[in-house]
Amino acid sequence: MATHPLQIYQRLATWPGGKWLFSLGVCFTAPYFATIRPRVLELTPERSRWTMRKRRRVHNHIGTVHALAMGNLCEVAAGSLMECAVRPAQRWIPKGMDIRYLAKAQTDLVAEATLAPEHQGKTGDLPVEVDVQDANGQVVVHATIFMYVSEKPARAG
Protein backbone atom coordinates (compact mmCIF):
# COMPACT_ATOMS: atom_id res chain seq x y z
CA MET A 1 0.00 0.00 0.00
CA ALA A 2 1.28 3.47 -0.89
CA THR A 3 1.90 5.59 2.20
CA HIS A 4 4.15 8.41 0.98
CA PRO A 5 2.09 11.41 -0.23
CA LEU A 6 3.75 11.34 -3.66
CA GLN A 7 2.88 7.64 -4.08
CA ILE A 8 -0.68 8.31 -2.99
CA TYR A 9 -0.97 11.22 -5.43
CA GLN A 10 0.53 9.21 -8.32
CA ARG A 11 -1.90 6.37 -7.74
CA LEU A 12 -4.99 8.57 -7.29
CA ALA A 13 -4.11 10.86 -10.23
CA THR A 14 -4.76 7.96 -12.63
CA TRP A 15 -8.34 7.53 -11.40
CA PRO A 16 -11.31 9.61 -12.53
CA GLY A 17 -11.73 12.18 -9.75
CA GLY A 18 -8.49 11.04 -8.14
CA LYS A 19 -6.88 14.47 -7.97
CA TRP A 20 -10.05 15.82 -6.37
CA LEU A 21 -9.92 13.00 -3.82
CA PHE A 22 -6.24 13.71 -3.09
CA SER A 23 -7.09 17.39 -2.60
CA LEU A 24 -9.82 16.46 -0.11
CA GLY A 25 -7.33 14.32 1.77
CA VAL A 26 -4.91 17.23 2.07
CA CYS A 27 -7.74 19.44 3.37
CA PHE A 28 -8.75 16.74 5.85
CA THR A 29 -5.17 16.57 7.13
CA ALA A 30 -4.85 20.38 7.36
CA PRO A 31 -8.46 21.64 7.69
CA TYR A 32 -7.71 25.35 7.24
CA PHE A 33 -6.82 24.70 3.59
CA ALA A 34 -10.44 23.68 3.00
CA THR A 35 -11.51 27.32 3.38
CA ILE A 36 -10.30 28.00 -0.17
CA ARG A 37 -11.23 24.61 -1.69
CA PRO A 38 -7.87 24.09 -3.42
CA ARG A 39 -7.44 21.44 -6.12
CA VAL A 40 -4.15 19.82 -7.05
CA LEU A 41 -3.11 20.00 -10.70
CA GLU A 42 0.39 18.52 -10.51
CA LEU A 43 2.68 17.21 -7.79
CA THR A 44 6.33 16.16 -8.09
CA PRO A 45 9.37 16.55 -5.80
CA GLU A 46 10.37 19.57 -7.90
CA ARG A 47 7.05 21.30 -8.49
CA SER A 48 3.55 21.57 -7.07
CA ARG A 49 0.63 23.24 -8.87
CA TRP A 50 -2.72 23.97 -7.22
CA THR A 51 -5.78 25.94 -8.27
CA MET A 52 -8.58 27.74 -6.51
CA ARG A 53 -11.77 29.23 -7.93
CA LYS A 54 -12.64 32.86 -7.47
CA ARG A 55 -15.94 32.73 -5.61
CA ARG A 56 -17.68 34.94 -3.11
CA ARG A 57 -16.35 33.02 -0.09
CA VAL A 58 -12.76 34.14 -0.88
CA HIS A 59 -13.58 37.74 -1.84
CA ASN A 60 -12.39 40.82 -0.04
CA HIS A 61 -14.36 44.07 0.31
CA ILE A 62 -13.68 45.12 -3.32
CA GLY A 63 -14.73 41.81 -4.88
CA THR A 64 -11.28 40.42 -5.70
CA VAL A 65 -9.59 37.40 -4.13
CA HIS A 66 -8.59 38.17 -0.55
CA ALA A 67 -4.86 38.44 0.15
CA LEU A 68 -4.93 35.79 2.87
CA ALA A 69 -6.81 33.36 0.63
CA MET A 70 -3.94 33.70 -1.84
CA GLY A 71 -1.46 33.21 1.01
CA ASN A 72 -3.34 30.04 1.94
CA LEU A 73 -3.04 28.85 -1.68
CA CYS A 74 0.70 29.54 -1.58
CA GLU A 75 1.05 27.52 1.60
CA VAL A 76 -0.85 24.47 0.33
CA ALA A 77 1.30 24.46 -2.82
CA ALA A 78 4.53 24.82 -0.85
CA GLY A 79 3.54 22.33 1.85
CA SER A 80 2.53 19.60 -0.57
CA LEU A 81 5.79 20.14 -2.45
CA MET A 82 7.78 19.71 0.77
CA GLU A 83 5.92 16.51 1.60
CA CYS A 84 7.26 15.11 -1.67
CA ALA A 85 10.71 16.72 -1.62
CA VAL A 86 12.02 15.75 1.81
CA ARG A 87 13.59 12.36 2.50
CA PRO A 88 11.56 9.93 4.65
CA ALA A 89 13.94 10.57 7.57
CA GLN A 90 13.21 14.31 7.46
CA ARG A 91 10.42 16.60 8.61
CA TRP A 92 9.52 20.19 7.76
CA ILE A 93 7.57 23.13 9.08
CA PRO A 94 6.95 26.61 7.64
CA LYS A 95 9.15 29.16 9.39
CA GLY A 96 8.27 32.34 7.57
CA MET A 97 6.76 33.83 4.45
CA ASP A 98 7.71 36.82 2.33
CA ILE A 99 4.69 37.55 0.14
CA ARG A 100 4.20 40.26 -2.47
CA TYR A 101 0.78 41.15 -3.84
CA LEU A 102 1.50 42.35 -7.38
CA ALA A 103 -1.95 42.80 -8.92
CA LYS A 104 -5.65 42.40 -8.15
CA ALA A 105 -6.76 38.79 -8.43
CA GLN A 106 -9.99 38.92 -10.41
CA THR A 107 -10.15 35.35 -11.81
CA ASP A 108 -9.55 31.76 -10.78
CA LEU A 109 -5.91 31.26 -9.70
CA VAL A 110 -3.10 28.74 -10.13
CA ALA A 111 -0.19 28.58 -7.69
CA GLU A 112 3.08 26.94 -8.67
CA ALA A 113 5.61 26.13 -5.96
CA THR A 114 9.19 25.16 -6.74
CA LEU A 115 12.19 24.09 -4.71
CA ALA A 116 15.57 24.61 -6.35
CA PRO A 117 17.42 21.32 -7.02
CA GLU A 118 20.35 22.36 -4.81
CA HIS A 119 17.99 22.53 -1.80
CA GLN A 120 16.36 19.12 -2.24
CA GLY A 121 17.28 16.66 0.51
CA LYS A 122 19.04 19.37 2.54
CA THR A 123 18.28 20.52 6.09
CA GLY A 124 17.92 24.00 7.56
CA ASP A 125 15.96 26.97 6.23
CA LEU A 126 15.01 26.21 2.64
CA PRO A 127 13.21 28.71 0.38
CA VAL A 128 10.21 27.52 -1.60
CA GLU A 129 9.27 29.97 -4.36
CA VAL A 130 5.57 30.31 -5.22
CA ASP A 131 4.01 32.25 -8.08
CA VAL A 132 0.25 32.70 -8.29
CA GLN A 133 -1.13 33.46 -11.75
CA ASP A 134 -4.57 34.54 -12.83
CA ALA A 135 -6.47 33.06 -15.78
CA ASN A 136 -4.67 35.50 -18.11
CA GLY A 137 -1.22 34.26 -17.06
CA GLN A 138 -0.44 37.39 -15.02
CA VAL A 139 1.50 36.79 -11.80
CA VAL A 140 -0.64 38.38 -9.08
CA VAL A 141 1.34 37.09 -6.08
CA HIS A 142 4.92 36.01 -5.49
CA ALA A 143 5.87 34.37 -2.21
CA THR A 144 8.99 32.87 -0.74
CA ILE A 145 8.10 30.46 2.04
CA PHE A 146 10.97 29.46 4.27
CA MET A 147 10.66 25.86 5.38
CA TYR A 148 12.71 24.55 8.26
CA VAL A 149 13.79 21.01 7.43
CA SER A 150 15.38 18.75 10.05
CA GLU A 151 16.08 15.11 10.61
CA LYS A 152 13.34 13.24 12.45
CA PRO A 153 14.35 12.20 15.95
CA ALA A 154 15.34 8.58 16.37
CA ARG A 155 12.48 6.45 17.67
CA ALA A 156 13.01 4.96 21.10
CA GLY A 157 12.53 1.38 21.38
pLDDT digits (tens, 9 = 90+) for 75-116: 999 999 999 999 888 999 999 999 999 999 999 999 999 999
Full-model pTM: 0.92
Query: Which superfamily is assigned to 5-151 in CATH?
Result: Hotdog Thioesterase (3.10.129.10)
Span 3-41, pLDDT tens digits:
788 899 999 999 999 999 999 999 999 999 999 999 999
Residue 59: DSSP 8-state = B
